[in-house]
Structure 1
Amino acid sequence: MSKPFNPKDHFFKKAKEKGFRARSVFKLEELQQRFHLLKRGQKVVDLGCAPGSFLQFAAKIIGPEGRIIGFDIKPVADFHNPLIKTFVASVLEDDIVTVVTQELGVADSIVSDIAPNTSGIGELDHGRSIELNRAIIEISKKTLRPHGDLLLKVFDGGTFPNFIKEAKVLFKEVKVVKPEASRSRSREVYVLCKGFKSNN
């Protein structure tokens, strides 16, 4: 029998010790170490950014020459960091494209740890996750530079193979990864899309 969920698990404690706002930072850290998604001086967008651990980590990688903006339906507490700017917005309902264009021009990389409010019904949650991520892909098509990269979090389920096929039309390379910091019983996987084909 699997152990009951413990909110104060190893990664939770480690995040607090290092000053990060959520344990999810270690998922991005692992993916960065393996695939070098983010680079110094980049312009980065974080969709579904609350509470902000991806923003914190990305800011360290891109350095003072870079910029990162985040969007979430919930307000994000200020970081007091001039590299980071956040907006309250929904990927499904608001004009994020215009804001990205005004703030960055185009993005070098887009990252997302977005998740729907879960119901406990696997296929329903999967469907909502796919809806959110399809909206993010539409935003990416209008804001990502040629050969840019996109990182998505998706709940696995019945339409996942079709979703991956759609991503492969738009990007040169698509990888599906489950980081160590993801809970073993979670249906979440990360989809790393590298090399945006901007002529689509």
Structure 2
Amino acid sequence: MPLHILIYCSSVLPNGKEILTLQRENHVHRLDVLLRVLLIVQQLLQENRHGSKRDIYYMHPSVFSDIISVADYILVVEKESVFERLANDQFCNANRCIVITGRGYPDIPTRRFLRLLIEKLCLPTYCLVDCDPYGFDILTTYRFGSMQMAYDAKQLRCPEVCWLGVFPSDSEKYCLPQQCFLPLTAEDKKKAEAMLNRCYLQREVPRWRHTIFEA
């Protein structure tokens, strides 16, 4: 969001003094960071020196380690191609959200980053995956953790994640053509049956099990 939209100036005071009013508390932090960076750039120019972004960070590490966002929600997408399409369409600017992808099954850094954002920003989080057993498995990896790292599930799981779709019922709801669908293979069905026996599906989100049956 442009800075001039966030700041209002009033020159009603005498002697040329002005009142600076910010719409939100986090805008104060953003202005503070901007002014600090501009001051560092000015000093570098005056001294004819060069500096990297890393150098600037370590001059004020406490300032740059607060996570501030004006987003309304977090969207996790399964595929990198979907992420790139949303980026090209400037989806985040139009909808004020943070989009994340693990490019399939998410690695540990991606899951830790998502966990950090949810804890610090307290934003609603939605996950969009394919309507197949692998997409569903990716969804459960974000929300409940992976079977291979069950011992570290508390630090990596994101129970706040909501399933946005795609659902089996979406085919009729949005009148999708039949050529958009692929039949489930024997391996797909075997994987789906194995997932149905997972304890967290029976205990925490039993309605998800019924959705899998619909597929």
Short-chain TM bin: 0.3 to 0.5
Name whichever structure is richer in helix by fraction: 2
Structure having the larger proportion of residues in strand: 1
TM-score (norm 1): 0.35
Normalised TM-score (structure 2): 0.33
Q: State the structure with more CA Rg.
A: 2
